[in-house]
Every structure is written in structure tokens, then in C-alpha cells.
Amino acid sequence: MTNDIAKLILRVSVGVMMLFHGFDKVINGIDGIKQLTVSAGFLEFLAYSVFIGEVVVPIFILLGAYARAASLVLAFNMAVAIFLAYGNSLFSLGKHGAPVFELPFLYLVMSILIFMLGSGKYAINNK
């Protein structure tokens, strides 16, 4: 039971916090993402996939519906975000002494943990 509650807390934390990032992009647009995508040599329309990674996928993770598959999509989204936003400054430190890619890396690790642990008992498809 304790493991299932821990899985629920992990899923809810990742899902809710990532939804804030996604809703910000829905409200304020993704011009910055488009710019990063194009400057990396990718087609601009690929920037729109951020809505899948930061709005649709977190809802699946929150509900525990195909959370393992959704968490892999989120992990890929975070790896791409790290590459696009911090590729040139990967080994730089932020103003508080942590690596500049700290937050997306944290989401990357947490999404990998959701994949490894599964969604637990308190999920739509609890396997």
C-alpha cells in the first residue's frame, strides 16, 4: 500500500507540475520553442509536439492511464528540451550553483522512475 501511495504522489507531482508548463505554452504561445527548433536544424512544425509532451502526456500520467508509455514520451520530451535549450551550455552552472538544465533533468529522471515503477494501485489501469 505504501508503494502505491508513493507512486500516486510521484505521478500527481509530475503530472500537475508539467501541466503548468504546458498551460503556459497554450496561453503564451511557443515562439521560443519554434526558434530553438529551427536553430537546431529541425522543421518548425515539430515545435507543436511540445503540446503533446506537456499537456496530453501529463494528463495520462496523472490519471494513471498508460502511465508507463506516457512517461517514456515525457522522458523523450525532456531529453529534447535539454538538448534544444541547454545543448551549448550543458556544463554551465546557474546562479544558485546547480546545472542550468536542473529542472528538465529532474522531470526526465522522474518520468523514467514512473516508467520503471508503473502507475500503481490508484490508477485508471492499475498494472
What is the model's pLDDT at position 91? 78
Low-confidence ranges of the chain (pLDDT < 50): none
Residue 127, pLDDT score = 57
Is the model's pTM score more than 0.85? yes
Contact indicator for 6, 116 with CB cutoff of 8 Å:
no
- Per-domain residue ranges of the chain: 2-117
pLDDT at 110: 97
74 exposed, middle or buried (CB, 10 Å; 0-12, 13-18, 19+)? buried
Q: What pLDDT, on a 0 to 100 scale, did the predictor assign at position 100?
A: 82
